[in-house]
Structure 1
Amino acid sequence: MQPHSYLPRPSKQQIRDLPAFAGLKPENIHMLISGNDVAAACQILGQADVLGFDTESKPSFVANQSTGGPHLLQLATDKEAFLFSAALLEGNAHLAAIIQAEHILKVGFGLRSDRGPLQHKLGVALTPCVDLAKVVKSLGYKDQVGVQAAVAIVLKQYLPKSKHISTSNWARLPLSTAQIAYAANDAYASLCVYRQLRLSAPQLFINGG
């Protein structure tokens, strides 16, 4: 019996050599501040069929220590992204309705680690949703991949990922311009990967999505 043959993952250098991912323009990224902002944003989000989804939390440098996150939730449409700070998450009925809306599919990477803390904060479950890490793996890769590798594999583009930004304090407001762009484009990139996979490999979504 021959060993299973997996597709090779692109190396870090191969990923960096790809054309840059065309992220959202700053004017299409909305950092929400008030409850009125949330209500208006959810009116727009409620019209979508699919949303790119991601969260950010203040990092913990102690094993098994909770940071009380998520401290930021990001939802992206095909044209814009909306960022919700922790203060706007707890008990927000408008956002809770979007998170559990059955007519809106939420897509992202590593959703298992997001769902528990998010449900604790909002009191509702993230549904329906598709974890794209598993979908991209099913193309023939040995392990699940993150959003940067998925953008390289599926879109043939380079999504920069700064460790300095990813491990920054997402609980401290106001967020920097770099943090806002990073967070928004993580969610937006997830949606772009999903859209392309629906076109190029629709068989991956036979069981839903």
Structure 2
Amino acid sequence: MLRLPSPTKDEIAGLEPLNRLGLDNIVVVSTRQQADQALQALEASTVLGFDTESKPTFAKAEVSEGPHVVQFSTLHMAYVFQLHDAGCCEVVSTLLVSERITKVGFGLAGDHVQIMRTLGVRPKNVLDLNVVFREKGYVKELGVRGAVAVMFNRRFLKSRKATTSNWANRQLSESQIVYSANDAWAAIKVFHALESRPGQA
């Protein structure tokens, strides 16, 4: 089987940044009405980028109460759902259990466990892109940064500060919104690149 080298941190650091979705193309969903509108828009797609964010835990035995945020994205628009609203939880659950819509992302095993505990549903029709790249011969897990480097020769910007921020906040910061939306958006972008250029990776 073909064994392909993953790009190194230094190699990725030397690449030009990937242009990301801006706030104009991101919808924060925190009420039932907003959730219903988002559902209508998202159900028009058969494939969505998908990711979750949880308030970080710092104590060894502490169990995360997340996810606190769930993101879905098309190629042009991302929706960031805050799960403190029951209506948002219901719509997110509807999308997660839909067998018609494929949810694509990176490293999703941990998300499944948290979703089952928080929302009480088991996600269906989910595609972990790390598995796709492994099947193509990448021995080391690529993750979103490595996949963006391989497919687009670009560096995917991820803020360490945003990663470890408090995702349970009812008022998300601009950096949290952009960060979370682009995690889901990058997944759908990589998926479409794999579909249109299957031999490239």
TM-score by length of 2: 0.92
Structure 1: which amino acid aligns with 2:91? Answer: H
Structure 2: which amino acid aligns with 1:59? Answer: P
Rounded Cα–Cα distance in structure 2 between residues aligned with 1:81 and 1:63: 33
> Where does the alignment leave 5 or more consecutive residues of structure 1 unmatched?
205-209
Corresponding residue for residue 207 of structure 1: none
Check conservation: 2:65, 2:118, Cα contact below 8 A: no
Q: Deviations over 1:67-111 (max 9, x none)?
A: 200011000011100011121367843332211111100000111
Corresponding residue for residue 73 of structure 2: 76
Report 1:189-208 matches (<5 A): 189-201=186-198
Structure 2: which amino acid aligns with 1:60? Answer: T
Q: Deviations over 1:21-52 (max 9, x none)?
A: 12112111011121100011001111111000
Aligned length: 201
Shift of 1:162: 1.7
Report 1:58-69 matches (<5 A): 58-69=55-66
> Where does the alignment leave 5 or more consecutive residues of structure 2 unmatched?
none
**Structure 1 residue aligned with 2:54, among 54, 57, 71?**
57
Rounded Cα–Cα distance in structure 2 between residues aligned with 1:43 and 1:136: 31
Check conservation: 1:89, 1:95, Cα contact below 8 A: no
What RMSD, in angstroms, separates the aligned Cα atoms of the two structures? 2.1
Check conservation: 1:89, 1:121, Cα contact below 8 A: no
Structure 2: which amino acid aligns with 1:112? Answer: A
Shift of 1:118: 0.9
Query: Given the alignment of the two structures, is residue 144 of structure 1 paired with residue 144 of structure 2, yes or no?
Result: no
Query: Given the alignment of the two structures, is residue 132 of structure 1 paired with residue 117 of structure 2, yes or no?
Result: no
Report 1:27-66 matches (<5 A): 27-66=24-63
Rounded Cα–Cα distance in structure 2 between residues aligned with 1:158 and 1:88: 35
Amino-acid identity (%):
35
Shift of 1:13: 2.2
